[in-house]
Amino acid sequence: MSAYPETVAEIATALAKGEFSSVEITRHFLQKIAAHDGRLNSYITVCEEHALTQAAAADTLLQGKVAGPLTGVPYAHKDIFCTKGIKTSCGSRMLDNFIAPYSATVSERLDAASMVLLGKTNMDEFAMGSSNETSYFGPVINPWREETVPGGSSGGSATAVAARLAPCATGTDTGGSIRQPSALCGISGLKPTYGRVSRFGLIAFASSLDQAGPMATTAEDLALMLNVMAGFDKKDSTSIDRPTEDYTRTLNDPINGLRVGIPQQYFSSELDADVAAPIRTAISELEKMGATCIDLDLKHMHLSIPAYYVISSAECSSNLSRYDGVRFGHRCSEPRNLDDLYCRSRSEGFGAETQRRILIGTYALSSGYYDAYYRKAQKIRRLIRDEFQNAFANIDAILGPTSPSAAFEIGQKLDDPITMYLSDIYTTAVNLAGLPAVSIPAGFAEGLPVGMQLIGNYFAEAKLLQIAHQYQSTTDWHRLSPPMQSGVD
C-alpha cells in the first residue's frame, strides 16, 4: 500500500495539515511515472524539474497559510493545452517541435491555483480517435489489461489517473474524449456545458464541439478541479459570461425525488450484455436512494454519429488548414515550391486518421456537396438538441452506459473507421447539443471497467456531480485500481 492518499480531496487536506509536503507527494508521483510509464506510455513529456520547482513554491504558500484549496496538488495535463515554454504536441508529428509561446487559459488557471504540473499526457492525434492509437507517440496501454486500449482521445490522462500516476488530469471532449476513456479505464470524467471552460490555447479540433474538463478518481475531485478550471474568459469568444458556482456545495445533498430518464436507445442491440448488466444494477441503486427512473424515447439519437462525423470533420478541415509549414510546426525538407511546401509538410506532419478527417471535411464543405452533408448535419443537430430540451422539461438527468463495450484490444478497430466511430455512439449527441455529462465507474465486464454516463441540462454540472457523489457514497467501484507490476508504489 502506498503511504500517500490517492484522491485530490485527501491530498489537499493532508497538504493543508502539513502531513507531507508538495515536494514529497510530487516526488512520489514522479517516481511512479518513472517506474511504470515506460510500459503504459501515458505521458508524452514529464516535467520533473518544472514540477519540483512548482511544488517548492506551493510548499512556501502552504507554510505561510496563504494556500488555496488545491495548492500543491499534482496533476497531469493533456498535451492539447498550450503550456508556455513546454512542448505541446497534440499527439502529432506536426507539433513535435512546438514549444508553446503562450499558455492556455486552463493552464494559467491551474498555475494560479498553485497546482503542480507533472507532465503532458498522450492522446490521439489532434484528439481524433477513440483508442489512443492514432498518437504519433505510440499507443497508450490500459492498466486494467495490457492488451487493451484506454479509449481516446484523452487516453493518456485516463491511464495516468487509473494507474495512479497522477491524482487527477485534464481532458478535452469533442465527441466523448473525456467520458469514453474514463469509462474504459474505470475513473470519473466530466465534460462541462459548452462554453463553461475556456477554449483559449486549447488546440482546436472542432470548435463548436470541443470542451475541456477534469478527470479524476471521484466525483468530489471533479468538483474541486472544475472549481479551478471553469469561468468566463474574454479571450474565448464562445466562453459564457455567467458566474461560476462552488461545485462541491451540493455534493452531500440527498437525491430523493430526483427524476432520471433512461433512453431505450441506450440499451439497443449495439450494447454488450455484460455492459448492460452493471448499468441496470446502477439504476436500481439510484432508485433505492430515492430517484425515480422514467423511460425516455430519444428518436434521433442514432443520427448523432453521422451528424457528428460530418460536422466535426468539416470544422477539423478548416481548423487544421493553419498547419502550413510556414509559421510553426513541421516543415518538409527542401521544398520545390510553395505548393510542395504545403502538401509535403502536411502529409508528413499528419497521421492517417487526421488526413482522413481532413478529407471528409473538405469533401463535405466542397461546392455541390455542402447542402447534402454539412447543412443536413446541422439540421439533424437541431433535432437532437431540441429532443434533449424536450426531455429535460420533465427530468433532472439522463442515465445510460458511456460506451457500448468495455476496453477493446489494441489493433482491433484500427482498420475499420465505422466500428471505431461507433464506440462513441452514446457520447457524441451530448457534444452536438452542448450539454454537460459525467462518466463514473459502475462495475466490471469480465474484469474490465464499465462506465455509467449521466447527462444533465445546460449548466447542471453541480447536479450531475451531486448524483455521482451520492452514488459513489454507496458504492466503491471508483475506489478500485488496477493491480500494478511490482516496483515503486
Partner 1 sequence: MVISDKEVKDIAQLARLELNEQDLAAIGFGLRQILEFVQQMDAVDTTNIEPLAHPLELDAHRRSDEVLETNLRDTYQRVAPRVENALYLVPKVVE
The set of catalytic residues is: 78, 153, 177
Nearest by Cα to 159 from 210, 119, 219, 109: 119
CB of 119 to partner 1, least distance (A): 20
Told to check if 126 binds partner 1 by CB under 8 A, we report no
Query: Cβ closer to partner 1: 249 or 302?
Result: 302
Which of these ranges, 107-115, 165-173, 213-221, 238-246, lies near partner 1 under the rule CB under 8 A? 238-246
- What single letter denotes the amino acid at residue 440? I
Kindly write out the interface string for residues 371-410 of this chain, putting x where it contacts partner 1 by CB under 8 A and - elsewhere.
-xx-xxxxxxxxx-x-------------------------
Footprint on residues 410-429 left by partner 1 (CB under 8 A): 417-418, 421
Told to check if 331 binds partner 1 by CB under 8 A, we report yes
Q: Within a 10 A sphere around the Cβ of 145, how many other Cβ atoms?
A: 15
CB of 155 to partner 1, least distance (A): 22
Among positions 56, 277, 343, 445, the unique one binding partner 1 when judged by CB under 8 A: 343
Q: How far is Cα 185 from Cα 439, in angstroms, rounded to an integer?
A: 11
Told to check if 310 binds partner 1 by CB under 8 A, we report yes
Told to check if 488 binds partner 1 by CB under 8 A, we report no
Footprint on residues 197-216 left by partner 1 (CB under 8 A): 208
CB of 81 to partner 1, least distance (A): 16
Parallel, antiparallel, or unpaired for β 437-445 and 116-121? unpaired
Told to check if 297 binds partner 1 by CB under 8 A, we report no
Which residues, in sequence order, are CB contacts of 482 under 8 Å at separation 6+? 143, 144, 162, 163, 186
Helix (H, G, I), strand (E, B) or coil at 132: coil
Kindly write out the interface string for residues 241-280 of this chain, putting x where it contacts partner 1 by CB under 8 A and - elsewhere.
x---------------------------------------
Told to check if 325 binds partner 1 by CB under 8 A, we report yes
Helix (H, G, I), strand (E, B) or coil at 214: strand
Told to check if 28 binds partner 1 by CB under 8 A, we report no
Told to check if 302 binds partner 1 by CB under 8 A, we report yes
Q: How far is Cα 4 from Cα 296, in angstroms, rounded to an integer?
A: 44
Say if residues 459 and 241 touch (Cβ distance below 8 Å).
no
Nearest by Cα to 453 from 229, 270, 182: 182
Footprint on residues 75-104 left by partner 1 (CB under 8 A): 97-99, 101-102
CB contact burial 73-98 (16+ within 10 A = b; e otherwise): bbbbbbbbbbbeebbbbbbbbbbbeb
CB of 327 to partner 1, least distance (A): 5
Q: Between the CA of residue 437 and those of 32, 60, 243, 360, 456, what are the distances in Å? A: 31, 37, 20, 28, 6
Query: Cβ closer to partner 1: 5 or 306?
Result: 306
- Which residue is it, cell 437541431? 382
Among positions 4, 43, 81, 309, the unique one binding partner 1 when judged by CB under 8 A: 309
